Amino acid sequence: MVPDEDSLSLSYALRMAHDLDIFHKLDVEILTDAEATGLLEGGSLGPSNIVVFDGPKKTSFGRRLLGGSDHPLLPPRMYRGGVKINGVCSTSGELVRD
């Protein structure tokens, strides 16, 4: 996932996608912040590994996954119902405990 209209992050994502294809034969889909947020809100973002190319306050998707600036930076897990980070599940735009 890359920030909207950020050519440097897109370049990094394309390089990573290329290496994952060449060395591991893994499929990659590069999404913008708006696309990823739309899929998450619509419940269409399936289980997957996600790499977020982000910086301070660049993407709403990254902030949403990590629950704000005071949330520990641990890897989130995607599920059909939303995102799970340390047992906290995000569904319909709000963070709720399992």
Q: Is 47 exposed, middle or buried (0-12, 13-18, 19+ CB in 10 A)?
A: exposed
Q: pLDDT per residue over 46-66, tens digit each?
A: 777 888 887 666 788 877 776
The percentage of residues in the chain with a pLDDT greater than 90, rounded to a whole number, is: 27
> Token pair 């947020």 is at which residue?
37
With left for phi above 0 and alpha for psi between -120 and 50, is residue 56 left, alpha or beta? Answer: beta
Looking at residue 97, its pLDDT comes to 46
Domain boundaries, the chain: 7-97
Band the pLDDT of 96: cuts 50, 70, 90. Answer: very low
Looking at residue 85, its pLDDT comes to 62
Q: Kind and range of the H or E element at 89?
A: strand 88-91
